Structure 1
Amino acid sequence: MALPGLRGTDHIGFTVPDLDVADDFFVRVLGCEFVYSLGPFAREKGEWMQNHLGVHARTVMRRLNFYRCGNGSNFEVFEYEAADGQAPQPRNSDIGGHHLAFYVDDFDAALDYLHAEGLTILGDPTASSSASLGQRWVYFLSPWGMQFELVSYPDGKAYEKDARVLLWHP
């Protein structure tokens, strides 16, 4: 059995320490489009925040912004004032660790642009092998240290020649 009516990913939500810094990064640096903002939200009484969002009952969600980035999923970006403190950002190897990957047509031009913006690039670009042969990728960090990936495979990946299902590709 599968989730009835599943069409795809509507949005990816994540929390940043400063929504103004994140807005500059998403709009000016990456070229995403700001769509709308909500907040603040807080509950003086009751357990709504805990029951609905899994956070401390007195946490304040200061603001959230929605962004549209190219042809991919939407982003819902939060800034919270956590009533019980905030945990450090997870690494990829931590439970809940993650990264967001952006597909680009011209990998080298995009990488040069990230360097010019002064962003931290993690290592040298990697040419994938095996099923991902044809792909190049590199991780980079946002101004607040969140992990992102630049990826491109303009001629496809090796797995595609025999695949029953293809991964999303722009």
Structure 2
Amino acid sequence: MKNKNIITKIDHIGLNVPDINRATVFLLEAFGAEIIYESYSRELPPLEASGELASALNLAPKATLYSCRMIKIGNGVRIELFEIHVDGQREPIKSSDLGLIHLALYTDNMHEAIQKFEAAGGKMLSDPNPFLFPAEKGDKNFFCYGLTPWGTTIEFITYPDGMPYEKNNNLYK
């Protein structure tokens, strides 16, 4: 059977951070991330985006790129870190704002993941909680949210009991 989907997976997620070196150290310490490559280095002159480049990348006028680095966490999706600054730059969004609101990381050991996250400088917003929705509930299924030092929301998630929707794939048809 031929795959009906033209899109086959999420390749990477882009995050703009205030200091790429500090963010990298945090991700290495908190999640055991590894650097895959650096596509633009702080050793190069800052690159001011204007005209077509700013438009193509959806950047504010006069946004300046200082560095860009690709990392990965475990076998999951890659994260492209950017350090882009511009006058009037806004604070990170909250989960109630529009747009990409969090990055969820699966763990087999919730307590150790939280401990490493906090030791690296992350701030937890709660202890692990049972899932809220029936399609996700299980006795050992938990989630919780935390904030990176630069304010990106991270969700820790574990579901060793599986997800109820997997057992009844007609649940939402």
TM class, shorter-length: 0.7 to 0.9
Bigger drift between 53-62 and 10-19 goes to 53-62
Residue 52 (structure 1) aligns with: 56
Residue 155 (structure 2) aligns with: 149
Shift, 1:115, TM fit:
4.0
- State the Cα deviation string for residues 135-158 of structure 1 (Å, max 9, x = none): 201101111121101110112012
Could you say what secondary structure the match of 2:135 adopts? helix
Letter matched to residue 31 of structure 2: L
Question: Which structure 1 segments of 5+ residues have no match?
Answer: 166-170
Residue 136 (structure 1) aligns with: 142
Give the alignment's TM-score, normalised by structure 2: 0.82
Could you say what secondary structure the match of 2:7 adopts? coil
Relative CO higher for 1 or 2, CA cutoff 8 Å, sep ≥ 6? 2
Matches within 5 A, 1:19-30: 19-30=20-31
Could you tell me the percent identity over the aligned residues? 31
Could you say what secondary structure the match of 1:132 adopts? coil
C-alpha distance in 2, partners of 1:138/1:75?
21
C-alpha distance in 1, partners of 2:65/2:18?
12
C-alpha distance in 2, partners of 1:81/1:115?
26
Contact 2:94 2:101 in 1 (8 A): yes
Question: Which structure 2 segments of 5+ residues have no match?
Answer: none
Which of 82, 103, 106 is 1:103 aligned to? 106
Could you say what secondary structure the match of 1:80 adopts? strand
Matches within 5 A, 1:107-126: 107-126=110-129
Contact 2:31 2:117 in 1 (8 A): no
Letter matched to residue 47 of structure 2: A
Contact 2:66 2:84 in 1 (8 A): yes
